[in-house]
Amino acid sequence: MIGWPDASTLFGWIFAITFLGVACWEAWRPSRAAIASLTLRWFGNIALFAMALLMTWLIPLLSSLSAAVIAAQRGWGLFHLVTLPPAITLAASFVLLDFFGYWMHRLLHKIPLLWRLHALHHSDTDLDVTTTIRHHPAEALVQALCDAALVLLFGFPPQAVLLYGGVVLVVQTFHHGNVMLPARLGWLSRWLITPDLHRLHHSMAYAENNSNFGNSVPLWDWLFATLRLAPEGEFKVGLAEFSGAKFQRLDKLLIQPLLVVPNPRPPS
């Protein structure tokens, strides 16, 4: 049986390989021409990712896996109070984690304070593999605290947390890519959040960036009427107030939550 450190390392390698694979795909056949400097954007996005990793390393409880291990050791959470077959617990945990991930994403757009933090992810003038890891450290902190709280409350087993985290990280790396699926693979969008679906979530248009919230599958968007299959008009990535190249500098990225305007709603 693979131990937790070994399994974490395995998923780390899977993420790195997926990241490199999508980056090569983008370089070979990009879906859209780049607007901002690739060097400028990649430096800022990767630096933000390094800050989030450092924060998790300094405060281990911010890791969902660490929270799951603590819950398992102390018998905390719903799944430690009921007796279910391990396979059922694993499947139910995976589904619930994805369900809560969908609603957490919606709250990041709905609540003004959370939108200030999350807007950085949407202010990228281009959408590519590094947008996956473009999150403000404050957003990463809030997300980690919410994830850890849910894990402790429900007692999700470490196996489920590790499996879900690994799967979602790979899927998100794929669907942020500046790539276009071949037409013969268009059916994938019925079962998986693909680049074709997720790029609409990064549109400048309110109706479009408030759609397709799913982390891995379009099921929740379909059930809660937030699924969108095509843009309404000309498609543009990013946020209008941060369209200039200067906003992609690391110093500007870090102060961006102070400059964010409310997510504008269309006139009723």
Which of 88, 2, 41 shows the shortest CA–CA distance to 242? 41
Residues 248-267: pLDDT tens digits?
Answer: 999 999 999 998 877 655 54
Which amino acid belongs to residue 31?
S
Average pLDDT over residues 51-58: 83
Which of 40, 35, 39 shows the shortest CA–CA distance to 246? 40
Residue 2 has pLDDT above 60, yes or no: no
Q: What is the pLDDT of residue 1?
A: 42
Percent of residues, the chain, with pLDDT higher than 70 = 94
Q: How far apart are CA 187 and CA 175, in angstroms?
A: 15
Q: What is the pLDDT of residue 24?
A: 96
